Structure 1
Amino acid sequence: MKIILTHEVTGLGTPGDIVEVKDGYGRNYLLPQGFAIRWSKGAEKQVTVIRRAREAREIRDLGQANEVKEQLAGLKVTLSARSGNGGRLFGSITSAEIVDAVKAAGGPSLDRRRLELPGHIKSTGSYTVQIKLHPEVTASFPVNVVGAK
């Protein structure tokens, strides 16, 4: 099955890539989750729009990715969330909240889809979050979650 990726899929490609996958993988996972659309001549024209949007938010080169990695390494990100007894949060911390907290702490603007959370963050404490800045550069930074009543 030939598909066009609309989101980044680890091990498969980035948005705008035209890839060949097994029928079941495409039909049962990629298409229903919205990670891809079926390939057609009309859909192939949309690839240029998808690639243009990706290039606008993508880190340009390896040097820029290393600069952003250094900025993140020296950053202290703190998130405040409502919590109950024992530090258990009401809800969980999302990647969008982490991106906003990085921006508020004076860090660079990041793409929330490239964040890799260490599971669900549902309690107060310190966590290490990773982000894939470039195919060759992965940065990690600490996130401290504090409770608010």
Structure 2
Amino acid sequence: MDVILLQRVAKLGQMGEIVKVKDATPVTSFCPRARRLRANEANKARFEDQKAQLETQNLESKKEAEAMAGKLDGQQFVVIRSASDGGALYGSVTTRDIAESATAEGFTVDRKQVVLRGPIKDLGIHDVSVVLHPEVEATIEINVARSNEEAELQASGKSIQDLAAEEEAAAEFEIQGLFDDIGGAANDEDGDDN
């Protein structure tokens, strides 16, 4: 089936292009009806009549998206999740979680705008793309932590795994000191018997 694109669609084409798609492909799911028309003579004439209006609407929405991207780009949002001592999450952070955390901070982000490169399944700071318009994208940081205190530590540049290793080393040093004290006390007692 040939379709006329009513706006730019990533990996498919620009506004006004006629592209060939199969009826039963995922193309029809990421290119909804609002973005395409079946390419027949009547729709081609209709598109030509509406082309100036569509370009104007596209330009306005692109300007709005660029303004929003300017505010959103580089922002960091915190998502609190349960995780193991090693930092592996019990589950994963979804696009819905990211959209809700951004919305809670006063930004209007839909979960369909959030693009994950891969699943977020561990603690730390992760870069995530937000597609605000087919031609405008912003990058935000998602700070995944077990508590707000951990999130603050991660935001300052410290890794939760590094902090856990430091605490473990400090605990081992303290235990070693106790054993040294006990060993020294035993030697003192042996010396008193002589």
TM-score w.r.t. structure 1 length? 0.63
Relative to 1, partners in 2 of residues 1:60 and 1:115: Cα closer, same or farther, differing over 3 Å? farther
Q: What's the offset of the Cα at 1:10?
A: 3.0
Give ranges in structure 2 of 5+ residues lacking alignment.
Answer: 44-57, 148-194
Residue 163 of structure 2 is matched in structure 1 by none
SS at match of 1:130: strand
Q: What's the offset of the Cα at 1:82?
A: 1.4
Q: What's the offset of the Cα at 1:30?
A: 4.4
Give ranges in structure 1 of 5+ residues lacking alignment.
Answer: 45-57
SS at match of 2:81: strand
2:119 alignment partner AA: H
Residue 55 of structure 1 is matched in structure 2 by none
Paired positions, count: 124
- Which protein, 1 or 2, shows the higher relative CO under an 8 Å CA cutoff with sep ≥ 6? 1
RMSD value, Cα? 3.5
Report percent identity of matched pairs: 29
Residue 108 of structure 2 is matched in structure 1 by 109
Q: What's the offset of the Cα at 1:117?
A: 1.3
Deviation readout 1:61-103 (Å, 9 max, x if unpaired): 3332222112213533110011122111111111111010011
Deviation readout 1:15-50 (Å, 9 max, x if unpaired): xx9x75344xx325446xx5568x6xxxx9xxxxxx
CA distance in 2, matches of 1:9, 1:82: 37
Q: Which has the higher helix share?
A: 2
1:87 touches 1:147 (CA, 8 Å); kept in 2?
A: no
Deviation readout 1:100-131 (Å, 9 max, x if unpaired): 0011123x211221222131100011011111
2:131 touches 2:138 (CA, 8 Å); kept in 1?
A: yes
Aligned pairs for 1:40-79 within 5 A:
60-73=60-73, 75-79=75-79
1:79 alignment partner AA: V
Q: Which has the higher strand share?
A: 1
SS at match of 1:85: coil
Relative to 1, partners in 2 of residues 1:130 and 1:59: Cα closer, same or farther, differing over 3 Å? farther
Aligned pairs for 1:1-149 within 5 A:
1-2=1-2, 10-12=10-12, 20-23=19-22, 26-30=23-27, 34-35=29-30, 60-73=60-73, 75-106=75-106, 108-147=107-146
TM-score w.r.t. structure 2 length? 0.50
